[in-house]
Amino acid sequence: MRSVTVLAPAKLNLTLDITGVRPDGYHTVDMIMQAVSLYERVTVRKSEGFSLALPGSNVPANEHNTAWKAARAFLDETGLLAGAAITVEKHVPVRAGMAGGSADAAAVLVALNALYGARLPEEALCAIGARVGADVPFCILGGTARATGIGERLERLSPCPPCFFTVCMPKGGISTPQAYARYDALGTDDRPDTAAALAALCRGDLPALCAQMKNALSFSSAGRDTAPICRILREHGAAAALMTGSGAAVFGVFEREAAATAARGALAARYPRAWVLSPDPQGARIVHTT
């Protein structure tokens, strides 16, 4: 095997609640996360040296990149004296709350594990990923999951009921540290009932699940476009409309694809970056080897 190509899905937060702050300043959370059908495509090739390329992207290809960090963490953990040439084809928007960078890291870990025959189990890959970023373990796991702690503790859940997500990314991104700092200053009364959301998932009850789709960071994110996008989505029949993560992407939930597509069309004139997506039951996975 000389190269491995991995697809890694983006994520949406169906719910997001903040449960506390640790002594180190990190916030603890309780979230229901869902993988969706928008993918980063990452190819890793065997190499004597180490390189990272992100063609067509403005994301820096340096040691601060999550793909770079993941590769270094994997090689340090396994003790492999090996190199890697990594190419990331980015499709998930940056600073969107959709875990694009974490998906890149997850893809690199899955690819290196196969490329060099390390055979680490999923649990071990998730442990390495947690050192790179809190969302990386979920991007390895995928599907529908509850995330607690700082986001690294995962519990597989019943699959999300069939539906369609119209996801819209406004022009500007949101700073996650700033969103949490504003939350600390402002707080919120808009919290999900996570227990009710979990019960709805178990029943496969999409309307009841949508009723609990709330994001405790929505008020503090300072995303100027969140409210108008949510309004357009609801006007076109979205059963729920909310921000994902710390923003800036916003999504609506639809039972019918035609309605989701119509909502995307209504957003297009003002917000050209919009997609109609569906739940993905998997995480990062190999799609090609040579």
- Catalytically active residues are 11, 135
Nearest in space to 253 (alpha carbons), one of 266, 238, 274: 238
Q: Which amino acid, one-letter code, is at 23?
A: P
First and final C-alpha spacing in the chain: 6
Q: How far, in Å, CA of 251 to CA of 279, rounded?
A: 13
* Beta strands 240-243 and 285-289, pairing class: unpaired
Q: Which helix (H) or strand (E) holds 167?
A: strand 164-168
Q: How far, in Å, CA of 279 to CA of 13, rounded?
A: 12
Token look-up 């006007």 returns 235
Query: Hey, is 114 helix, strand or coil?
Result: helix
User: Please, are residues 167 and 253 in contact by the beta-carbon 8 Å criterion?
Assistant: no
